Chains A and B, each alone.
Chain A
Amino acid sequence: NAGVMQNPRHLVRRRGQEARLRCSPMKGHSHVYWYRQLPEEGLKFMVYLQKENIIDESGMPKERFSAEFPKEGPSILRIQQVVRGDSAAYFCASSLIDRSGTYEQYFGPGTRLTVT
């Protein structure tokens, strides 16, 4: 059973360009979470999605950032007009929710975004 997959692993963008980060959840998982990790910091929640629905985007910056999880295909985190402050590691996690309502989140290897 393949784990959570993210690509690309490393992404370099110039200021003003767009960054697209992809996440394929574990097989059978229909819940996806995106986190951002700045150097020497913990992970900060950004957004929680189920297929075709955004459940909680309270951690997403109001501008330039968007996320989707379509019926088919990976989840996409999109950053428009990137700035140097967007440089970070972006992690995706996936989970399923069992009947008791509990779940474990499994993390992907991350995408390291560098804005030059």
Chain B
Amino acid sequence: QQQVKQSPQSLIVQKGGISIINCAYENTAFDYFPWYQQFPGKGPALLIAIRPDVSEKKEGRFTISFNKSAKQFSLHIMDSQPGDSATYFCAARDDKIIFGKGTRLHILP
């Protein structure tokens, strides 16, 4: 059973554009929703995270939008840059972290 569903699998965006990655979850016990960024050959690094009592969180060019009733959340990367090219994982936590399958993002220069 896949508890956290992530889409799209891959995404190509022009430099300066907005990258949007979507996730949906099943378990209402999840209390924390982090996003991780992973470069090839590296471990995942925490990018930004949100709790379900907040509908939006913004840090620089990265924004999480959270819809508790729909059990969906998304990552928006504004003014996308080639250095943002990486794999992004959404995740959800109750007592352990459950990861989505990842989105491979490529920003065209």
Given contacts A42-B89, A43-B89, contact A33 B96 (CB under 8 A): yes
- Considering only residues 85-100 of chain B, those with a C-beta below 8 Å from chain A are 89, 95-100
How far, in angstroms, from A109 to B97 measured CA to CA in the complex? 18
B46 to chain A, nearest CB (A): 6
- Considering only residues 20-54 of chain B, those with a C-beta below 8 Å from chain A are 32, 34, 36, 41-46, 49
How far, in angstroms, from A46 to B30 measured CA to CA in the complex? 18
Indicate if A48 sits at the interface (CB-CB under 8 A): yes
Q: How many residues on B have C-beta within 8 angstroms of the other chain's C-beta atoms? A: 20
A45 touches B45 (CB 8 A): no
Indicate if A104 sits at the interface (CB-CB under 8 A): yes
Residues of chain B within 8 A (CB-CB) of A59 are 96
Which listed residue, A42, A104, A108, A109, touches B99 by the CB 8 Å rule? Answer: A42
A19 to chain B, nearest CB (A): 18
How far, in angstroms, from A110 to B42 measured CA to CA in the complex? 7
Chain A residues in the interface with B (C-beta under 8 A): 4, 33, 35, 40-45, 48, 56, 58-59, 91, 93, 102, 104-110
